[in-house]
Structure 1
Amino acid sequence: MLFRPRYTIDTIYHLDTDMLHQLGIKAVFSDLDNTLLAWNKFETANEMGRLNERLADAGIKLVVISNNNAERVGKVLNPYQIDFVAKSKKPLPFAIKNKTQKMCLSSNQVMMVGDQLITDIQAGNLAGVKSVLVKPLVQTDKWNTRINRFLEKIIFFFLGLSHPVTFKETLKHG
């Protein structure tokens, strides 16, 4: 299904590198706001840096795929030397597909992690990569994301009728 994540996990920070290796993952693509970084707080930036180091030590590349502009994304990620694609136009899959090709990876070696069904999960599914839904880091959103959250409630309702979406500390099939 277009909006159903392949996996769920409560937070990106609980991704287990051993499990990622078992799944054949070479790159974790991630949304920025409310997935790696609370959109209105920069306190989680150090945790983001530690995740990047942990993944790198395991031979897995972290890449941020964001709809935000390059100035905003670069300001946050450059100090941590995290690669990114800005203005990605999610839910369109082109940024994910292009970055996958540039990294000489196949789609089954890439995982897209995000907190929104309508942008992150749909983009990952359309790109043919493994999609992972996480709970948002904070329960507030920028004004433009609130519309998506409203629509997500409807989608969650329909997803829940056939198979509920739940979050645990380890990767779980969505």
Structure 2
Amino acid sequence: MNLLRPDYIAQSLQEINLNILRQNGIQGIILDLDNTIIAWDSPRMQPEIVDWIKELLQQRYRICLLSNNMTQRVKHIADMLGVPYVPRACKPSKAGFRQAIAVLQLKPSEIAVVGDQLFTDVLGGNRLDLFTVWVAPLSANEFIGTKITRKIEKLTIRLLKARGLLK
């Protein structure tokens, strides 16, 4: 159960306290794509999210997009933001996360993973001892497989709360 427990929870990207990340030695951020920085199957990012990512870059955070999505979509958004990316990551597999760690050229203890799913982003990040940040999804519109996983996620959240592992 501890592998599904995020280190930090925020309702949105903009609510993430960057001072807490700095206090934890975070210098790099692995960002999930769909429903974390852009609504699933949407071609456009919200301007406030683009601004938030630009602020991270101005503060010298290293950023890498990590997504299970196809290369073309991930590349398009990464190019727009001017950040590196790892597509088709097969999260929560360690391989994609290891690629992103290599891209960032930081120690795992210096990297946070930010994503909207416990069973992909949080689990994958925790398996490699990364600092995990769980945010609410941007949209209820999701891939059918994700909709199924969300039902299991809701049950898991109840169990984590019942055991005092999640607030």
Alignment of 1:48-127 (within 5 A): 48-127=49-128
Give 4+ residue runs of structure 1 displaced > 6 Å after superposition.
Answer: none
Query: Alpha carbons of 1:151 and 1:116: their partners in 2 closer, same or farther (altered >3 Å)?
Result: same
**Which SS does the other structure have where 1:113 is aligned?**
strand
Alpha-carbon distance between aligned partners in 2 of 1:27 and 1:135, rounded to the nearest angstrom: 21
Q: Count residues with an aligned counterpart.
A: 166
Alpha-carbon distance between aligned partners in 2 of 1:55 and 1:98, rounded to the nearest angstrom: 21
Residue aligning to 1:11: 12
Report the more deviating stretch, 143-152 or 37-46. 37-46
Alpha-carbon distance between aligned partners in 2 of 1:51 and 1:137, rounded to the nearest angstrom: 15
Residue aligning to 2:146: 145
Query: Alpha carbons of 1:44 and 1:102: their partners in 2 closer, same or farther (altered >3 Å)?
Result: closer
Alpha-carbon distance between aligned partners in 2 of 1:137 and 1:67, rounded to the nearest angstrom: 17
**Which SS does the other structure have where 1:111 is aligned?**
strand
Alpha-carbon distance between aligned partners in 2 of 1:77 and 1:104, rounded to the nearest angstrom: 18
The Cα of 1:56 is off from its aligned counterpart by 1.1
Alpha-carbon distance between aligned partners in 2 of 1:14 and 1:48, rounded to the nearest angstrom: 11
For normalisation by structure 2, the TM-score amounts to: 0.90
In percent, how many aligned pairs have the same letter? 27
The answer to whether the 8 Å contact 1:27/1:61 transfers is yes
The Cα of 1:42 is off from its aligned counterpart by 4.2
Residue aligning to 1:36: 37
For normalisation by structure 1, the TM-score amounts to: 0.87
The Cα of 1:72 is off from its aligned counterpart by 1.3
Alpha-carbon distance between aligned partners in 2 of 1:139 and 1:29, rounded to the nearest angstrom: 22
The answer to whether the 8 Å contact 1:8/1:165 transfers is no
Alpha-carbon distance between aligned partners in 2 of 1:139 and 1:81, rounded to the nearest angstrom: 27
The residue type equivalent to 1:122 in the other structure is: L
Gaps of 5+ in 1: 167-174
Gaps of 5+ in 2: none
The residue type equivalent to 1:50 in the other structure is: D
The Cα of 1:77 is off from its aligned counterpart by 2.5
The answer to whether the 8 Å contact 2:13/2:49 transfers is no
